């Protein structure tokens, strides 16, 4: 499909699945509500359904996960929906799809299916002629390591040009993450201090108070490092650390993301602490001797002019005290202690809260009232939360239909991220047990320069 061309149909593979019900179909409902979806939506799945079953599935998802349910709005979505049933290995399925798409000439194919089926589906699209002038949207994980990510990219490129491959990482579509990017580059007061001369460290924490929620078998295959660090949190770090984009063109930001990820030093076991909450091995689908990490902390180093020597710390874990995602950029203390050493012990910071709310805060010292020149630490903060704001999937689906790839992962960025973690996927220390409701293994503190993590509240 021509770059930036508006799609005239959406084909959803895996339409009968959980991802479609919880994320994709509610996003489509919201797009209809905002008058941003008018093209046919064809669901494809192995479940023996007809059109009415897909409509019922979509209604269930819209009621549970949409931003409010309006029957008239849903009726508009229902009129766009149809269903094709069959096995993805059966060429007849793709011939039936080709016949259904006889009118539309610029379709988008959304693969809400396991990565093991990506090559099967795109191969069927190619053989049937459906891939002509189309683009494909694929879900993470983009491989399990560098080799498999490369193999997956080769399989996709056998059918689609890179400009027509849209890799969804929903973190790139989150309002709070885009707020981080906007604050970074829209405010001139940050740029002079956003470098190794003034930043002491950067910490990124993704904490979840819940466990694997019945998904033990899935978690055994991925673990915390593959599930959220190598993709979601690496992209957050890239947005924090990248150079300013040269323009607003689709690839300008992706060039910068790939460039900074290519400067991240590959991890060693010394830069890693793995943990597993006590009780994880009792979960259904989990091996009794499992060494899969439910907590991981890593220390990154970016070997470029701006960030050399600045430790960048990432941690993510389940069964931690809170559910929150937060970035803390800690600044270096003033060069001279004029009013004592309090400011040296607790320097200024810039804080980005990414969930469950969107907050930007700046930590600063101010004088306490009274005769003494004594200070108190305060935070200047702005919180922006709109209950009707776009969901990440709503934003990303709309941009995929419009042909805007800015917020989608690109091949070089994906493979650069895998190059960082590849050395420690198998060569790593064992997972250390930690009690649910704590901040993970105490050993993770050794990764920080001051033996201290910033804990979101």
Which residues belong to the active site? 232
What is the DSSP pairing of strand 165-168 with strand 135-139?
A: parallel
Residue 45, preceding peptide bond in cis (omega within 30° of 0): no
Q: How far is CA 44 from CA 10, 40, 314, in A?
A: 11, 13, 38
DSSP code for 87: -
Q: Tokens 């993770």 map to which residue?
A: 444
What is the DSSP pairing of strand 107-111 with strand 135-139?
A: parallel
Cα dihedral sign for 265, 269, 271, 275? positive
Secondary structure class of 316 (helix, strand, coil): strand
Contacts of 274 (CB under 8 A, 6+ apart): 225, 293, 295, 296, 428, 429, 430, 431, 432
Q: Where are the beta strands (DSSP E) in 301-446?
A: 312-317, 324-331, 349-355, 359-367, 375-383, 432-434
């Amino acid at each position: 499909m021509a770059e930036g061309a508006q799609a005239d149909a959406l084909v959803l593979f895996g339409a009968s699945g959980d991802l479609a019900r919880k994320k994709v179909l509610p996003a489509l409902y919201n797009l209809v509500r905002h008058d941003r979806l008018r093209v046919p939506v064809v669901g494809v799945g192995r479940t023996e359904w007809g059109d009415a079953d897909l409509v019922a599935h979509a209604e269930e998802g819209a009621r549970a996960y949409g931003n409010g349910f309006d029957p008239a709005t849903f009726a508009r979505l229902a009129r766009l929906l149809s269903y094709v049933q069959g096995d993805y290995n059966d060429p007849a399925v793709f011939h039936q799809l080709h016949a259904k798409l006889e009118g539309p000439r610029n379709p988008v194919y959304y693969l809400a299916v396991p990565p093991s089926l990506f090559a099967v589906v795109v191969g069927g699209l190619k053989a049937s002629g459906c891939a002509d002038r189309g683009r494909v949207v694929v879900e993470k994980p983009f491989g399990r390591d560098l080799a498999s990510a490369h193999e997956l990219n080769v399989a996709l490129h056998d059918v689609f040009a890179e400009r027509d491959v849209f890799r969804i990482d929903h973190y790139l579509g989150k309002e709070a993450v885009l707020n981080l990017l906007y604050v970074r580059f829209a405010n001139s007061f940050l740029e002079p201090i956003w470098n190794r001369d003034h930043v002491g460290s950067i910490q990124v924490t993704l904490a979840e108070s819940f466990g694997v929620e019945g998904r033990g078998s899935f978690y055994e295959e991925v673990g915390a490092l593959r599930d959220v660090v190598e993709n979601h949190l690496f992209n957050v770090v890239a947005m924090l650390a990248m150079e300013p984009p040269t323009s607003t063109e689709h690839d300008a930001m992706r060039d910068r993301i790939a460039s900074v990820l290519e400067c991240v030093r590959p991890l060693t076991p010394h830069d890693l602490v793995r943990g597993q909450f006590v009780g994880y091995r009792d979960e259904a689908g989990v091996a009794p001797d499992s060494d899969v990490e439910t907590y991981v902390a890593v220390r990154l180093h970016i070997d470029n002019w701006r960030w050399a020597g600045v430790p960048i710390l990432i941690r993510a874990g389940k069964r931690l005290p809170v559910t929150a995602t937060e970035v803390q950029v800690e600044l270096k203390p003033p060069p001279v202690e004029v009013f004592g050493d309090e400011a040296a012990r607790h320097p200024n910071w810039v804080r980005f809260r990414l969930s469950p709310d969107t907050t930007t805060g700046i930590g600063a010292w101010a004088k306490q009232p009274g005769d003494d020149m004594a200070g108190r630490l305060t935070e200047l903060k702005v919180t922006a939360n709109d209950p009707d704001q776009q969901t990440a999937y709503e934003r990303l689906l709309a941009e995929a239909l419009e042909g805007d790839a800015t917020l989608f992962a690109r091949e070089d960025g994906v493979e650069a991220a895998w190059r960082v973690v590849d050395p420690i996927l198998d060569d790593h220390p064992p997972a250390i047990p930690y009690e649910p409701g704590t901040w993970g293994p105490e050993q993770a503190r050794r990764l920080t320069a001051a033996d201290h993590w910033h804990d979101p509240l």
